[in-house]
Structure 1
Amino acid sequence: MATETLTAERILEVTEEVLRRYGPAKATVVDVARALGVSHGSVYRHFRTKAALREAVTHRWLGRTEQALEELTAAPGPAPGKLHDWLATLFEAKRHKAGDDPELFATYNVLIDESSDVVDQHLTVLEDQVRRILEEGVSTGEFAAPDPAASARAVFTATARFHDPSYAPTWESETAEEEFEQVVGLLLRGLRP
């Protein structure tokens, strides 16, 4: 048996490793427990079902991106530059996840399909961050957005090609960066007062 204290965070770390190794179709709670050196009942004390464990892993994965973007959202600076940097950071985070660990990225795409509530919450957080940047820009006179929430949804939808996982095969194209800058430039010009 394991000698370290079993925590939810440790279970999630090991679950990521197990998912990377076996994939979402074959990975089981027993595999996670075995990797931890505990009984599967110990894992179930922290996560009542396999689905709850998989949702928690998905939430943790998406939360990393949310945290990095929240730091940009809360940072001082001109709203147009902040919005550009926020979108660029989101694009880079998604590209990084897809390119550096394609097996885990594919696994998370399966988990995301299973965890629509977690994904919906994630998208709500991201849209809210964009809304806050737009509101800041409106208050400083840098943006004209009569309905910042609707404008945030529009910005998020207009840039989907650079963050929606279904577009991942196009993210490494030679023109991806240039296309990103063109779309974001257009959006920023459209938001000017």
Structure 2
Amino acid sequence: MQSSSQDHNRSLILETAKTLLRRFGVDKLTVMDIARSLDMSHANVYRFYKTKAEILDAIIDEWLLKVESFVENIAQRPVSATERIEAVVLELHRKRREKLLEDAEFYETYRRVIELRPDVVAKRREKIHNVFKKLVEQGIESGEFTSAAPEEVATVLKDATSLFLHPLLIPTCLNEDTEPRARAVVRYILAGISTQKPKLSPIIDGVSNAATNLIQ
């Protein structure tokens, strides 16, 4: 029962912190604000989270877990590795664009938090890299891809799709129709390792097939 009560209090603190982040922003939010909103002493808040930074870390971890779950669900679909890799990029890109358009205040809070914590961005990029690597390995096992180096292909995919997936970069191209470009980037990279060379459409908006040469 005590553990359940502690989990409940932790959850209350995090939900309150997220609400107040919208109102005050990351820089102005204090533990006192959270305690006041919950009608508890700040000492009680410190029983569960030692610092404001620890509260922010918990919120970031929660966000990252949601992204990981979203991506993992796509990665487990019963379709080809090519389709799953493309879906990871397009659907995550679409989800983040929609969040930014629907709730700019929340997105700005999220952007500001991760801006203060570059290590979080590195952790996120590593997760995406590992998903790409796993899917490339599965494509090799099924005969869909040649025996390319999964680590290198995953790195190229991660770097080449940063514009479409990185939370700090998505706002820079919000007024552009970026989905066709994201699709083209993925398809041109995967064409370089496909055992069945697809007939590709013309390069969109300057997307270069030089990326495929990096992994051949």
Q: Could you state the TM-score of these two structures normalised by the residue count of structure 1?
A: 0.89
- Give the counterpart of 1:37 among 31, 34, 39: 39
> 2: distance between equivalents of 1:29 and 1:5?
18
Q: Quick check: 1:19–1:27 contact (8 Å CA) kept in 2?
A: yes
Answer with 1 or 2: which has the greater Rg: 2
Q: Which residue of 2 aligns with 1:80?
A: 82
Aligned length: 191
- Give the counterpart of 1:117 among 108, 116, 119: 119
Q: Which residue of 1 aligns with 2:141?
A: 139
> 1: distance between equivalents of 2:174 and 2:119?
29
Structure 2 unaligned spans of 5+: 196-216
> 2: distance between equivalents of 1:45 and 1:4?
10
- Give the counterpart of 2:97 among 95, 98, 104: 95
> 1: distance between equivalents of 2:138 and 2:165?
23
Q: Which moved more, 1:70-79 or 1:127-136?
A: 70-79
> 2: distance between equivalents of 1:123 and 1:149?
14
Q: Which residue of 1 aligns with 2:60?
A: 58
Q: Which residue of 2 aligns with 1:15?
A: 17
**Greater RCO (CA < 8 Å, at least 6 residues apart):** 1
1:156 maps onto 2:158 in alignment: yes
Q: Deviations over 1:74-129 (max 9, x none)?
A: 23321111111111122112212322221221222221122233332222112111
> 2: distance between equivalents of 1:149 and 1:166?
25
Structure 1 unaligned spans of 5+: none
